[in-house]
């Protein structure tokens, strides 16, 4: 009996020290801190286990190293852009983008998101056209192919994509494939074996080291990126699976958004992939110049920043960018603006609702769309017109 009392006392003391760490050493919002304190004190043993699995924050030392990698990749131009934007001397090709200088500067400062203007973009809202284009680009690859996806399915689309990667790997093209362990948990390792046998490199993001226990289960990689030869990239919402082609009877038609990008913005996507890859594997990739080729042939004129956010970033860059973009007035022609936000399963918190509509005048509209898949049973569309500050 005394042994169990000692164990309970030890766990209680450990909970106290953990509570101190939650309050004083981890940057959490007050609601999150109070929630974990309640869990730790009222469910001492189980609460501690839950904290280990889903409550730990990303290690600051690793965060600093990752941010250092990202900054080192683009440090040659980042200071110059900061100075030009700070003094309002940046020469925008698209004059309309001058209205967003503050947002561009904010993204540059907090997320090292360089602004590039030589980008050509093709937009996809259908999975068939997106994957047809991606596989064509994979078949044309000469040097390397980098992919990171949250969900990978062992189905017809998964095998079609894998076959294309295997063929290029056999030709000597360097293929690196990073998938999220939890998002793709149904995929067995043997699915990737043909690619590994052909010389490709496949890694899982934060896999489980012990059966049924994953202390990094809350740190998932939801990115969907593809970079071909450092000059063509894909970024957006489509994962790899037949349901994203509308072939699932359960899900039905699937509408998402993806972009094919040619231009210097692809370098930002490449940098993010290399950060994720080097975090997830011991087979580190050096920041070689051939991974960031000079792009002089692009005829694109679209300005673009690639903003990343997650446990590997110190701030909530994407949310801040949304709010800043909404608050920015169109000063070029004085015409009414319409801001459209769409996402799967978007459930805005009250504080976000008020933040999203801040500074909207009577001549402006905002559409906030949430597309719920059939399993959720409904779709929602919110439209706000006039004085947004009355929302709530």
Cα–Cα dist 323/259, whole Å? 22
pLDDT for 384: 42
Pairing of strands 365-371, 116-124: unpaired
Classify residue 111 by burial, with Cβ atoms within 10 Å: 0-12, 13-18, 19+. buried
Contact 266, 227 (CB under 8 A): yes
Distance CA 256, CA 214 (A): 30
In the chain, pLDDT over 90 holds for what percent of residues? 32
What phi and psi values does residue 32 have, to the nearest 5 degrees? -65, -40
Supply the DSSP symbol for 210: B
Give the residue-averaged pLDDT of 251-278.
Answer: 91
In the chain, the DSSP E strands lie at 116-124, 144-149, 174-180, 201-205, 225-228, 232-236, 258-262, 302-304, 338-344, 365-371, 380-385
pLDDT band at 2 (very low <50, low <70, confident <90, very high): confident
Name the 3-class secondary structure at 43.
Answer: coil
Tokens coding 101 = 């200088």
pLDDT tens digits, one per residue of 140-182: 999 999 999 999 999 999 999 999 999 999 999 999 999 998 8
Nearest residue to 119 via CA among 231, 15, 271, 20: 231
Distance CA 112, CA 78 (A): 7
Q: What is the pTM assigned to this prediction?
A: 0.75
Is residue 178 within 8 Å of residue 280, measured between CB atoms?
yes
The predicted-structure confidence for 311-348, as pLDDT tens digits, reads as follows 666 677 888 887 887 777 655 555 556 666 666 555 55
Residue that the structure tokens 């894998």 belong to: 162
Instruction: Count CA atoms closer than 13 A to 13's CA, side-chain side.
Output: 6
Q: Which two three-digit tokens encode residue 352?
A: 């976000």
Token pair, residue 160, equals 């079609």
Cβ pair 334, 302 in contact under 8 A: no
Per mean pLDDT, which of 93-107, 251-265, 378-392 is the most reliable? 251-265
Question: What DSSP state is assigned to residue 213?
Answer: B
Q: What are 178's strand-pairing partners?
A: 148, 203
Mapped onto helix, strand or coil, the DSSP state of residue 370 is strand
**What's the average model confidence in pLDDT over 190-215?**
82
| CB neighbourhood size of 353 (10 A) | 15
Task: Give Cα separations from 353 to 54, 171, 307, 358, 370 (angstroms).
Answer: 27, 52, 22, 9, 13
Q: Is residue 380 classed as helix, strand or coil in its secondary structure?
A: strand
For residue 289, pLDDT beyond 80: yes
Cα–Cα distance for residue pair 157/33, rounded to 1 Å: 43
Cβ burial, residue 175 (10 Å; 0-12/13-18/19+): buried
């Amino acid at each position: 009996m005394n042994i169990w009392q000692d164990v309970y006392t030890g766990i209680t003391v450990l909970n106290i020290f953990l509570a101190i760490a939650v309050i004083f050493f981890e940057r959490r919002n007050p609601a999150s801190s109070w929630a974990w304190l309640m869990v730790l004190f009222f469910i001492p043993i189980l609460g501690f286990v839950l904290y280990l699995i889903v409550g730990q924050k990303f290690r600051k030392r690793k965060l600093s190293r990752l941010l250092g990698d990202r900054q080192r990749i683009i440090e040659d131009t980042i200071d110059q852009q900061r100075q030009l934007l700070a003094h309002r001397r940046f020469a925008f090709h698209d004059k309309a983008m001058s209205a967003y200088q503050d947002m561009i500067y904010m993204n540059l400062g907090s997320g090292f998101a360089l602004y590039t203007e030589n980008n050509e973009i093709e937009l996809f809202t259908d999975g068939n056209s997106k994957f047809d284009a991606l596989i064509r680009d994979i078949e044309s690859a000469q040097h390397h192919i980098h992919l990171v996806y949250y969900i990978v399915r062992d189905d017809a689309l998964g095998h079609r994509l894998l076959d294309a990667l295997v063929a290029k790997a056999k030709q000597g093209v360097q293929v690196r494939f990073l998938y999220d362990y939890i998002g793709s948990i149904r995929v067995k390792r043997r699915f990737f074996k043909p690619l590994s046998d052909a010389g490709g490199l496949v890694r899982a993001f934060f896999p489980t080291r012990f059966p049924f226990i994953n202390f990094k289960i809350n740190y998932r990689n939801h990115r969907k990126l593809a970079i071909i030869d450092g000059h063509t990239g894909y970024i957006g919402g489509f994962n790899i699976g037949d349901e994203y082609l509308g072939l699932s009877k359960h899900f039905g038609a699937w509408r998402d958004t993806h972009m094919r990008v040619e231009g210097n913005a692809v370098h930002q996507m490449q940098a993010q992939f290399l950060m994720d890859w080097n975090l997830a594997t011991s087979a580190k990739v050096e920041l070689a110049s051939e991974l960031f080729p000079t792009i002089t042939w692009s005829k694109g004129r679209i300005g673009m920043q690639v903003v990343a956010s997650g446990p590997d970033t110190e701030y909530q860059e994407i949310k801040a960018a949304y709010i800043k973009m909404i608050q920015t007035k169109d000063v070029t022609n004085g015409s009414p603006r319409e801001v459209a936000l769409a996402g799967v399963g978007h459930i805005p918190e009250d504080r976000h609702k008020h933040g999203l509509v801040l500074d909207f005048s009577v001549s402006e509209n905002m559409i906030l769309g949430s597309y719920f898949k059939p399993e959720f049973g409904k779709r929602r569309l919110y439209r706000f017109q006039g004085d947004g500050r009355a929302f709530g």
